[in-house]
């Protein structure tokens, strides 16, 4: 007979949604087992920028930020339009502040406020001007002790030799270290500490962003008594008469779960079959998700009677990316998050034309690119800049001065031309088209104007720019050769399509009835925002919040 054990709650997956559910339930008194398929924990959340969308959070309230009643809801409704999901949005908005307060007061997870981070679409009613997002406070990984080996290392492409850099003052110091003595001192201290940590521990220990979030959640789980297990493959959910009672592992072992199971396996970003089935132009969507994001949670949920929610504007959370070839032959993907909005860069198609507002959200860049290129043509764009821009801000994985960039030229990642025509020929861009576009752009940029797309006209765009650039922080001419370009294509942070759920994170069947004992969080729970990207942190915010909701509901539910 196969081995059988019992617990209160089983969580499948160890990203933000999974560990939020596990910690919430364990702190509430449940015995919890987390099953992770890989040998490390943290999922794609550990690779993320770490921002968490949580309107009405206590950090904003403590800073004196108050909003009109219903303002976040009205904004989200304006963004989502016909895809607005009132029950889930209302549940999210009610629970997000409670989630932040719970983790702050009961666990090792504490936050810093994003008081100056506005929502993406500042022209829409009730768009937030700051305070709706939080980020995990920096974390000294030494606190994990032996559990440090369980924490997924940060994504190499978004770190500096494995060192995580947090947006805001930390990133600003790195960007201005040659122009500010204070920034130079800050960067020097951080780099020296990091080099020491690499020598002593083989990895960075001063964690920021998603690495700090998952480090703190992992510590919280251990402190709450959560049973953390890696290398665990779940074959099926044990279910009967409309209720999930546990899991069946690949080796035949069974774990009975009196309060149910939470699916939090990270979506399907890396699964060829589900990508082909659900995505538009899947072959042109490079995933930033961890390799294990193979849709396991969706398949387990469907086999137990759960339905997929495809009533979404987009099934993936788009992000423009460039492909990276490292010196050792490894290939990677770099997300273009902060460079596009800086003054002195434009995105162009093969004909040399601009096609979008480069300073809008990363999701918008890709949707514009896919809309501008016929389906029978490759969805390719180029970010084009001059030498001044490259050394001041960097471009893609190319870091600003004083970091050298010769390797990226030799590898072909970065293209260079003495003139715009030379650059166009190197990239396969129409030379006349690029020259005409840059001439028009430069004339308008010198006046701080972008009549074509309106760059720099909202708080979100202006935050992405350079406050030293006037009159428009997002616009500067491209005029000082040599000129440079990086090839940018569609990618995605994760998937929006997932299991259909209600406001309590319970998985629903095709008729809309809740399946007893089955919850979904993170990428396994369909987008609460209808497949749109209304603000930074809209993946982690719902992941933590619906994980928290699932754990709390499981703890409160009495088994019939």
Q: Is the pLDDT reported for residue 333 higher than 70?
A: yes
Percentage above 70 pLDDT, the chain: 99
Torsion of CA 78, 81, 85, 91, to 10 degrees: 0
Say which residue the tokens 């000129």 belong to: 483
Spatial separation of the C-alpha atoms in residues 482 and 462, rounded to whole Å: 27
Domain residue ranges of the chain, discontinuous segments joined by +: 1-159+206-314+501-560, 165-203, 317-492
The domain made up of 317-492 has a fold known as: Flavocytochrome C3; Chain A, domain 1 (3.90.700)
Could you report the per-residue pLDDT of 481-500, keeping only the tens digit for each? 999 999 999 999 999 999 99
Give me the helices (H) in 152-208, please.
Answer: 169-175, 181-201
- CA-angle at 364, arms to 528 and 548, nearest 5°: 25
Task: Give the model confidence (pLDDT) of 203-248 as tens digits.
Answer: 999 999 999 999 999 999 999 999 999 999 999 999 998 899 999 9
Given the structure tokens 């576009």, which residue do they identify? 437
CATH architecture of 1-159+206-314+501-560: 3-Layer(bba) Sandwich (3.50)
pLDDT in tens, 376-428: 999 999 999 999 999 999 999 999 999 999 999 999 999 999 999 999 999 99
Task: Let me know: does 100 contact 58? Beta carbons within 8 Å.
Answer: yes
pTM of the model: 0.95
Q: What is the pLDDT of residues 61-86, one digit of tens each?
A: 999 999 999 999 999 999 999 999 99
Region 525-545: mean pLDDT is 97
Rounded Cα gap, residues 55 and 123, in angstroms: 18
Q: Tens of pLDDT along 291-327?
A: 999 999 999 999 999 999 999 999 999 999 999 999 9
Rounded Cα gap, residues 35 and 179, in angstroms: 48
**Predicted confidence (pLDDT) at residue 432 exceeds the cutoff of 80:** yes
Residue 2 pLDDT: 58
Q: Specify the pLDDT at position 340.
A: 96
Nearest to 98 by CA among 553, 549, 557: 549
């Amino acid at each position: 007979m196969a081995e059988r054990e019992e617990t209160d709650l089983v969580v499948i997956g160890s990203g933000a949604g999974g560990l939020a559910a596990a910690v919430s339930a364990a702190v509430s008194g449940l015995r919890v087992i987390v099953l992770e398929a890989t040998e490390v924990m943290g999922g794609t959340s550990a690779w993320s920028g770490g921002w968490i969308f949580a309107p009405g959070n206590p950090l904003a309230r403590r800073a004196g930020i108050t909003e009109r009643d219903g303002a976040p809801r009205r904004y989200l409704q304006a963004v989502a339009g016909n895809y607005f999901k009132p029950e889930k949005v209302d549940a999210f908005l009610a629970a997000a502040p409670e989630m932040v307060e719970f983790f702050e007061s009961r666990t090792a997870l504490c936050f810093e406020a994003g008081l100056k981070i506005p929502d993406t679409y500042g022209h829409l009613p009730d768009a937030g001007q700051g305070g709706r997002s939080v980020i995990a406070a920096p974390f000294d990984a030494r606190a994990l002790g032996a559990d440090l080996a369980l924490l997924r290392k940060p994504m190499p492409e978004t770190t500096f030799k494995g060192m995580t850099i947090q947006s805001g003052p930390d990133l600003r110091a790195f960007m201005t270290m040659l122009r500010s003595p204070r920034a130079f001192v800050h960067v020097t201290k951080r780099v020296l500490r990091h080099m020491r940590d690499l020598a002593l521990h083989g990895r960075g220990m001063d964690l920021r962003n998603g690495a700090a979030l998952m480090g703190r959640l992992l510590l919280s789980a251990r402190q709450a008594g959560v049973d953390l297990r890696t290398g665990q493959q779940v074959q099926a959910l044990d279910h009967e008469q409309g209720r999930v009672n546990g899991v069946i592992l690949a080796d035949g072992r069974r774990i009975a779960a009196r309060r149910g199971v939470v699916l939090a396996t990270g979506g399907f970003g890396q699964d060829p079959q589900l990508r082909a089935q659900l995505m538009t132009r899947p072959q042109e969507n490079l995933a930033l998700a961890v390799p294990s994001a193979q849709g396991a949670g969706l398949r387990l949920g469907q086999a137990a009677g759960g339905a997929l929610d495809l009533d979404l504007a987009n099934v993936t959370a788009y992000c423009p990316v460039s492909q990276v070839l490292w010196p050792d032959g490894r290939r990677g993907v770099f997300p273009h998050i902060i460079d596009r909005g800086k003054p002195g860069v434009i995105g162009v198609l093969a004909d040399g034309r601009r096609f979008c507002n480069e300073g809008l959200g990363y999701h918008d860049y890709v949707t514009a690119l896919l809309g501008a290129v016929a389906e029978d043509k490759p969805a390719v764009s180029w970010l084009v800049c001059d030498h001044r821009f490259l050394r001041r801000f960097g471009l893609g994985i190319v870091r600003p001065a004083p970091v050298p960039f010769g390797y990226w030229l030799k590898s072909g990642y970065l293209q260079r031309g003495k003139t715009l025509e030379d650059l166009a020929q190197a990239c396969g861009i129409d030379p006349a088209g690029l020259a005409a576009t840059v001439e028009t752009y430069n004339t308008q940029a010198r006046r701080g104007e972008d009549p074509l797309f309106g760059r720099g006209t909202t708080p979100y765009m202006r935050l992405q720019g350079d406050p030293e650039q006037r009159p428009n922080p997002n616009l500067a001419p491209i005029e000082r050769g040599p000129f440079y370009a990086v090839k940018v294509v569609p990618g995605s942070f994760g998937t929006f399509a997932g299991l259909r759920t209600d406001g309590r994170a319970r998985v629903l069947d095709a008729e809309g009835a809740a399946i007893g004992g089955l919850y979904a969080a993170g990428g396994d729970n369909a987008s609460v925002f209808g497949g749109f990207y209304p603000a930074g942190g809209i993946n982690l915010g719902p992941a933590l919040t619906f994980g928290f909701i699932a754990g709390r509901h499981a703890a409160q539910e009495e088994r019939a």
